[in-house]
Structure 1
């Protein structure tokens, strides 16, 4: 029989539970330590989600105590009025940008996982943008893309002044500019995750590959990529989910103007600019369902691919 711990007896006695056996002590301590985080999770995550689900079936301006039950009318509006659902096409720019972002992050992580001069400097430089505040990044790139700003000055310096554009005014260019900003900011997160996974691979494997005459591509193709497959899947799920729910960069830089409005920006405007909290709640539920659905599809795809291999 396991003996009870004097420290646990003292702690449980302090809480007024007296002397209890070891198994009960373990259960009680787990419960006490989990009580606060679980309570915060329920209060700030699940309870608002439940309320949002209830509001999605109501017509409410967010201020008046009167709420009118409208059933599924809010959901019908989302799928029948193009100004609410067509903004999902903007997410395609960020969706394809995530593959560029992951490819660059994986490339730099692979290169900097080996002996490269100044590799610690390059690691910090790549990861640094992710540490910056989103508002600061928005203002930095506002000056970067503005007419006669940093980008135009660089093009003029390279003799390409005729290619300067209205990067944040032209509807055909604005989403490319914003997606590029998103890649610059979030690539550091993918990079540091990939780097940690690659550095966890045993050096003995690389030594054996060198003896067999493997070049850099062979090492990447047959050692690195199979070893970090799970990490690639995780990063892809996070990146695609983030592309669907993108908000911060376009909202700060353009406010959704010139065709850059995303579904989340449309939801915020619907709730706080047009005071349609019920409709905005329905939009939030639709976004949640889409993100969960895309995540499940990705997991099933990777699971089937792994099973077939």
Structure 2
């Protein structure tokens, strides 16, 4: 047998098809891709986590620690008093009144601002001349900072101020209320200012929700003989439910944490008529240098807000998400 023929066998074998990638190499490549994706996620999330930890988690933890001490903000934490600060707050009629004011604002906001926002949004959702301008004007108060709005109303509401002059020009010749100085009037004045400030946000939110209501449903209901009110009641409002619940949650949390507007307008007075948990906390924690006690009030406010948020997430948000997935 010639030598060239004898060497042909091994040569053909060496030149055979290249081996396919093994399963282990494919697994390693997938792991590398996953690790690269995880690193990218952490690269974007880490700055936000640092900010959140620094400005939210750390202050909450420090407030929880300070709340167990009788501390004025200076010196060492060496006067441990346990839960005495919490017991003091929950037995203080001024703090309980402040908590009552917060929940009264919550209830009034849901009962007054919600229906007003829905009604105005339904009107603005129709073809009206100047609708865009009206929407802009309605949203302007919400864009203003609470400090600016509070200062503006504080300048307009003193005795003999612009509001009293306007009422006189409209025919009210009698004695005007002391809008910010009468304990029986100041709370309602505060709520009116809050409504003016935040109603625009509620209206815009409802308008955004109305854009997701198919017009075909309203047209079909109209063809079937349904009135405008029946259409809104049985079609529009149920489909607007998730938006209403989101607004209600934001309104509740905002009402519980209300501070700037109250502090600028009344400072919690007169005679604690407009005191809220936040103004009470600042008054004692900062104004009276009772940092431990103010921290206990802050923890109570945090726990109340957290419980409401967890209840919303557990019983409301999950249901809305399931409904959205089902409709999708």
- TM bin (shorter chain): 0.7 to 0.9
In structure 2, the CA distance between the partners of 1:241 and 1:207, relative to structure 1 (3 Å rule), is same
2:49 is aligned to 38
Task: Find the aligned partners of 1:289 and 1:89 in 2 and give their Cα distance.
Answer: 16
Q: What are structure 2's unaligned runs of at least 5 residues? A: 1-30, 321-328
1:55 partnered with 2:69: no
CA shift for structure 1 position 92: 4.1
Q: Is 2:99–2:277's contact at 8 Å kept on the other side of the alignment?
A: yes
1:130 partnered with 2:111: no
Q: Is 2:69–2:77's contact at 8 Å kept on the other side of the alignment?
A: no
Counterpart pick for 2:275 among 246, 253, 261: 261
Q: Is 2:205–2:243's contact at 8 Å kept on the other side of the alignment?
A: yes
Task: Find the aligned partners of 1:163 and 1:220 in 2 and give their Cα distance.
Answer: 43
Q: Is 1:155–1:163's contact at 8 Å kept on the other side of the alignment?
A: no
Q: Is 1:152–1:164's contact at 8 Å kept on the other side of the alignment?
A: yes
The structure having more radius of gyration, on CA atoms, is: 2
1:242 is aligned to 254
In structure 2, the CA distance between the partners of 1:111 and 1:61, relative to structure 1 (3 Å rule), is same
Task: Find the aligned partners of 2:152 and 2:183 in 1 and give their Cα distance.
Answer: 21
Counterpart pick for 2:196 among 184, 192, 195: 184
- Offset from partner CA, 1:2-46 (integer Å, 9 cap, x none): xxxxxxxxxxxxxxxxxx832221111111111111111111111
1:26 partnered with 2:26: no
1:284 is aligned to 298
Q: Is 1:93–1:176's contact at 8 Å kept on the other side of the alignment?
A: no
Judge which range, 263-272 or 140-149, deviates more: 140-149
Task: Find the aligned partners of 1:145 and 1:268 in 2 and give their Cα distance.
Answer: 25
Task: Find the aligned partners of 2:53 and 2:312 in 1 and give their Cα distance.
Answer: 27
Helix, strand or coil for the counterpart of 2:268? coil
Q: Is 2:72–2:289's contact at 8 Å kept on the other side of the alignment?
A: yes
CA shift for structure 1 position 297: 5.1
1:199-238 alignment, distance < 5 Å: 199-238=211-250
Counterpart pick for 1:95 among 99, 106, 123: 106
Q: Is 1:56–1:281's contact at 8 Å kept on the other side of the alignment?
A: yes
Helix, strand or coil for the counterpart of 1:161? coil
Judge which range, 249-258 or 169-178, deviates more: 249-258
- Offset from partner CA, 1:28-76 (integer Å, 9 cap, x none): 1111111111111111111111111111111111122344211111111
2:94 is aligned to 83
Task: Find the aligned partners of 1:155 and 1:96 in 2 and give their Cα distance.
Answer: 29
Task: Find the aligned partners of 1:302 and 1:41 in 2 and give their Cα distance.
Answer: 25
CA shift for structure 1 position 299: 6.2
- Offset from partner CA, 1:127-172 (integer Å, 9 cap, x none): 1100001111011111332222232222212212226211111100
Task: Find the aligned partners of 1:267 and 1:80 in 2 and give their Cα distance.
Answer: 15
Task: Find the aligned partners of 1:124 and 1:60 in 2 and give their Cα distance.
Answer: 48
TM-score, with structure 1 as normaliser: 0.86
Task: Find the aligned partners of 2:163 and 2:226 in 1 and give their Cα distance.
Answer: 41
Q: CA RMSD in A?
A: 2.3
In structure 2, the CA distance between the partners of 1:299 and 1:21, relative to structure 1 (3 Å rule), is closer
**How many residue pairs end up in the alignment?**
288
Task: Find the aligned partners of 1:94 and 1:48 in 2 and give their Cα distance.
Answer: 27
1:9 is aligned to none
Counterpart pick for 1:71 among 82, 92, 106: 82
In structure 2, the CA distance between the partners of 1:50 and 1:68, relative to structure 1 (3 Å rule), is same
